[in-house]
Structures are given as structure tokens and as C-alpha cells.
Amino acid sequence: MAPDRSAPPDAEPYRVHAVRYATLETLRSAAFLGGDPSGGTIRLDYFVWTIEGNGRTFVVDTGFKAPVAERRGRQWLRCPTEGLRALGIDAAQVQELIVTHLHYDHAGNLDLFPRARLHLQEREMRFVTGRLMCFRHGSFSGLIEQEDVITLVRSLFEGRIAYLDGHAEIAPGLQLHRVGGHTPGLQVVRVWTERGWLVLASDATHFYENIAAERPFHAFVDLAEMFDGWRAVRALADSPEHIIPGHDALVMRQYPAAPGLEGIAVRLDAEPAFSGMAAAAAASAPGH
């Protein structure tokens, strides 16, 4: 069923920010399934996102901590909660946290949000406590931090997890949709803004190039679901310019910085300066 593209009758447009907290220059051949003939590099930026409006504040994902960055060789810029504070959001007071999935770079600071209700797909919790974690290496357990799962189980017994199964509207003009693929319970966020329905795709597409050139990221649990997820993301967003990838460094160049926060936070509900999707398609074209 095609998603309803009309304005929600009961919601004002939300303000949406991407907050960058870490970065990594890596080989393109290590980023894409099947490698890459170019021998070039690609930059991954690491983000959390904020959604504000209708009297509420939602934070999407929580990033990782400095020791994890060090162990995994990522360049840590600042704690994600510092970026949030610069936007006027105190993590300790946040009431609503959307967790797109439970990889280390998305669920690593849950302890810094002690009051938040967590919106998480039940399937994702089953994944990080299930049989695939019995394999101690590789792209299943290798991308999960044990401490994050323990923190999560604590928040479960504190009554703070709101489990989802599939699609849900958690506030007027704010929807979560499970797409899976990268992890079983990966969900994307569809949010109503001044410029229409925006999709925070998280790791349904790490880069514009994944979705634009139909080239999967190297880590996934279900490749077919990843391809289906691209179709779902395209259908949920009002245009390709309404899709926000999870790790693309272009995002910081496309969107205007929040006042005084150059290099830290950009405003995603503003018009982009150029098309990230078109730039990625051109970069990926044969002969480039």
C-alpha cells in the first residue's frame, strides 16, 4: 500500500537536525559488498538525530563512547550528548528515544538517557540476545557491544522500552517503519517537516551511493531485505532529496549548519544546497 503523502491533520511540521559526533576515512573496497575497483577512499560520518515539534523532543540513536571509538579505530569528535547540548537538549531530561538498531554506533550511550522511553523493534532485541550472538566474531556480534545490551536489558526491567513490531505512528506526523536487511529490526523514521515527509534512513542506506547505485554496504543479515528496504525508503520519502542516509559525509555539506554549530549540527528540514543522490549517482557512474 502506498504511503499517505498528505499533511497530517493533527501535527505541525517538525524541526530535524543531524548531529555529527565521529568520523572515519576508509577504503571504498571495505565499504561495499563485493569490493570496489577504484582503490579510493570514502568518509563515514557518525550521527545522532533530533526531531523537535508539537511540544516534544525525540532523539534518534545515541552514538558510541570514546573508549569504543579508540578500540575500533574511529575518530571520535565529541560525545553525542555534547552536540545535543549545543542544540539545547539535555540528554538526562530526554523523554523519547528512537533506537533505529542496536549496532555499537547507534546504541552506545543509552545510560546517558536515564529517563527516556525507548522505541525499539522487538525483533532487534531478539537479534542481540539470540543465537547469532553465539558466533563471537564477524558482522553479527562483532558490531554489537555487550555493555549496550546489558544497559538495554536494565532499561527493559525499568519499564522503559516501548517495543514495536513493524510500523507505528508514535506521535502525530512521526512514524517508525521496520525495514530490516542490515539488522533484523532496523527501523527508519518518517517525519513530517516544512518541506514534506522526510525519512531518516539510518543504516537502510549508509551512503547515498548504496541506494542510488544499488550497491549494498558490506554488513547485513538479509541481503534481499536490504534491497526491499531501499524500495520502502524511496516510497516513504517525498523525493530522493527527502532521504537522509545514516553515514554519508555529504550530509554535512548539503544542509545549513545550525547557528554557531558548523561541523557539528545541520538542519535537515531545510532545503539541501545540492542533490546528494545525484552526486552519488555521478560518482558511481562507470568510468568515473
Q: Which residues bind Zn ion (CB under 5 A)?
A: 105, 203
What region does 235 belong to: left with phi over 0, alpha with psi -120 to 50, or beta? alpha
Shortest reach from residue 133's CB to Zn ion, in Å: 18
Residues ≥6 apart with Cβ < 8 Å to 3 = 190, 197, 235, 236
Closest of 186, 248, 220 to residue 24, by C-alpha: 248
Kindly tell me which of 11 and 27 has the beta carbon lying closer to Zn ion: 27
Shortest reach from residue 103's CB to Zn ion, in Å: 5
Shortest reach from residue 5's CB to Zn ion, in Å: 28
Kindly tell me which of 145 and 203 has the beta carbon lying closer to Zn ion: 203
Shortest reach from residue 25's CB to Zn ion, in Å: 16
Kindly tell me which of 245 and 272 has the beta carbon lying closer to Zn ion: 245
The whole-angstrom separation of Cα 252 and Cα 226 is: 25
Q: Which three cell numbers stand for residue 54?
A: 508539537
Shortest reach from residue 105's CB to Zn ion, in Å: 4
Kindly tell me which of 148 and 203 has the beta carbon lying closer to Zn ion: 203
How far from 154 is each of 65, 148, 274, CA to CA, in Å? 19, 10, 43
Kindly tell me which of 30 and 92 has the beta carbon lying closer to Zn ion: 30
DSSP designation for 160 = -
